[in-house]
Amino acid sequence: MKRREFITLIGGAAVAWPLAARAQQPAMPVIGFLSSRSPEDSVYVLDAFRQGLRETGFVDGHNISIEFRWARGQYQQLPALAADLVSRRVAVLAAVGGDPSGIAAKQATSTIPIVFVMGDPVKAGLVKSFNRPGGNVTGSVPLTTETEPKRLGFLHELVPGVRLIGALLNPNYPTAASQLQDLEQAARTIGKPLFVAKASDDAELNAAFASLLQQRVGALLVTSDPYFDSRRDWIIAFAAQNRLPAVYSFREYAVAGGLVSYGPSVTEAYRNSGIYAGRILKGAKPADLPVVLATKFDFVINLKTAKALGLEVPPTLLARADEVIE
């Protein structure tokens, strides 16, 4: 072989070897992220999910990638969004933002591992039990809907003299019937009439606002629901403009200007699910990972909002608050 031909052959091989090596490297695993909520109101929980992944050695854009699908509170879109992620053969499907996402994910696949953030997965039929989930599903449970009566109790302590309490409820949320039953029982316990305004889309929410004003409610409870979370700023603005003391489900409402919030630390639930997604990527099976219950609850009072409403917060409530925003 001539010298020039030999050099050309070696040079061509040097170019080809790295290309071949790159082609043989495994593809970066993809996590499908299916949420009932919107990206605008999920920044803090997404940070928590990524934190859980980091704790197991996975960094978005470095050794994993995340494909996002957002329903923005429109639950009827979730089955198609879940099917799309399944068709992309994601390694793990994170179904977050409440029961509708978990249910849609489970209906879309029985083989891809699913990590949820939702209410009662046993009642929804997604797992056999908390300790032994079985199948391809596990995750984290923030007990949000079960705390509606306690939120109503806080609102009553805050404004005991109001004649009528209003509540916003999404009838399309899977646990709406139990939420309503719990609220009606709690209202009977405190001896207050309750007016329930229902909304599952923006037109209905506008109509619900109008009906609450027409009924002259003196205070407002916003039930735990991903659709309301995705309209958080709109609802807070309505309460402020109409000088309505209101109680919400998550700390983020109070931070955004809501008067009072009480509920589980949803960031803890998302972080736990991020940890589980990372463990599954490392080989763990969902059936062997017990469902995690959120154990941290936050009772937050925004004194700036109280002052704007001309409301004096009872010292007994201030003493029980986990956080007071001044």
pLDDT of amino acid 145: 59
Q: What would the mean pLDDT of 165-175 be, rounded to a whole number? A: 94
pLDDT of amino acid 7: 41
Which pairing describes strands 260-264 and 297-302: parallel, antiparallel, or unpaired? antiparallel
To which residue do tokens 């977050």 refer?
96
pLDDT band at residue 175 using 50, 70 and 90 as cut-offs: confident
> For the segment 301-324, what is each residue's pLDDT rounded down to a tens digit?
999 999 999 999 999 999 999 999
Q: Which segments within the chain are labelled E, that is strand?
A: 30-35, 65-70, 92-96, 114-117, 137-141, 165-169, 194-198, 219-222, 246-248, 260-264, 292-293, 297-302, 323-325
Does 212 have pLDDT greater than 70? Answer: yes
Domains located in the chain, CATH noted = 30-142+265-295 (3.40.50.2300), 145-264+298-325 (3.40.50.2300)
Evaluate whether 195 touches 166 at the Cβ level (below 8 Å): yes
| Four-point Cα dihedral 258, 263, 268, 272, nearest 10 | -130
> For the segment 241-261, what is each residue's pLDDT rounded down to a tens digit?
999 999 999 899 999 999 999
pLDDT of amino acid 2: 44
Closest CA to 183 of 196, 200, 170, 198: 196
Q: What would the mean pLDDT of 129-139 be, rounded to a whole number? A: 93
> For the segment 20-40, what is each residue's pLDDT rounded down to a tens digit?
444 445 589 999 999 999 998
Whether the full predicted model's pTM is greater than 0.85, yes or no, is no
The 10 Å Cβ neighbour count of residue 323 is 13
Does 297 have pLDDT greater than 90? Answer: no
Evaluate whether 234 touches 205 at the Cβ level (below 8 Å): yes
Q: What would the mean pLDDT of 178-201 be, rounded to a whole number? A: 95
Q: What gap in Å lies between CA 275 and CA 200, rounded to an integer?
A: 32
| Four-point Cα dihedral 111, 117, 122, 128, nearest 10 | 40
Q: What gap in Å lies between CA 51 and CA 57, rounded to an integer?
A: 10
Percent of the chain's residues with pLDDT above 90:
78
pLDDT of amino acid 8: 44
pLDDT band at residue 208 using 50, 70 and 90 as cut-offs: very high
pLDDT of amino acid 26: 58
Average pLDDT value for the chain: 90
pLDDT of amino acid 97: 87
Evaluate whether 276 touches 289 at the Cβ level (below 8 Å): yes
> For the segment 80-118, what is each residue's pLDDT rounded down to a tens digit?
999 999 999 999 999 998 889 999 999 999 999 999 998
Cα 313 to chain center, whole Å? 29
End-to-end CA distance of the chain: 84
Q: What would the mean pLDDT of 154-168 be, rounded to a whole number? A: 96
Q: What gap in Å lies between CA 227 and CA 175, rounded to an integer?
A: 13
